[in-house]
Amino acid sequence: MTSSLPPLLVIRHGETQWNVAGRLQGRRDTPLTANGTRQALAVAARLAETVSSLEDAAFWVSPLGRARQTASILADVWSLPFEQFSEVPMLAERGYGVWEGWAHTDIERNFPEQYSAHAADPWDYCMPEGESRTALTARLRSWLATLDGTRPHIAVTHSGCLRALRGIYTNASRIDILAYSEPQTAAFLLTEGNEVLLGVAPALLRAIGCENEGRTVWI
């Protein structure tokens, strides 16, 4: 791990239609649900003070629609022009190739050999037309190496990327990273060797009308 990782606030997109259905999205995309929109509003309110404290921050967003939709809501609440978020292809979700669009049980049933191979080697196995966790982590390390180390950064991305970034910043073991689990409304403030979970209080979720904290579909 390098010795010059800048402060990074990582935010996951709100709940989507396929999150509700339990289907893997990867590079494919579905829009936010009404609950996902309210989740983004709750996250924006929760993080407003933190964002204002990150002076001269740079804003980044995955090119996928669900992340851009979330970033648009955040920008509105934070009184920022949406154009302040720079689109970064390296922040796109892990590619799941031929598994995209399928639920977990469907993958196990329809692609049993691939499913077993992934379970046996969850870091280096790559499903057809997809991306391994190792490749995802390398992609994000490459992105981090391009950042201005003299200023903080704010990124709207996806669960796979969020977990990989947490692992990079804290130098977590592969076993620990595989055990990560966080609600859809969680954000993390990462500094080298440390992470702080910035969750949304249940009272705020209720006040904004969120049905729940959201779902994670993870293989």
Which residues are known catalytic residues? 13, 93
Task: Tell me which residue of 51, 52, 55 sits closest to 10, measured CA to CA.
Answer: 51
From residue 55, alpha-carbon distances to 4, 49, 59, 126, 136 in Å are: 18, 11, 12, 39, 29
Task: Tell me which residue of 78, 56, 22 sits closest to 218, measured CA to CA.
Answer: 22
For the four alpha carbons of 132, 134, 137 and 141, in that order, the dihedral sign comes to: negative
The 3-state DSSP class for residue 144 equals helix
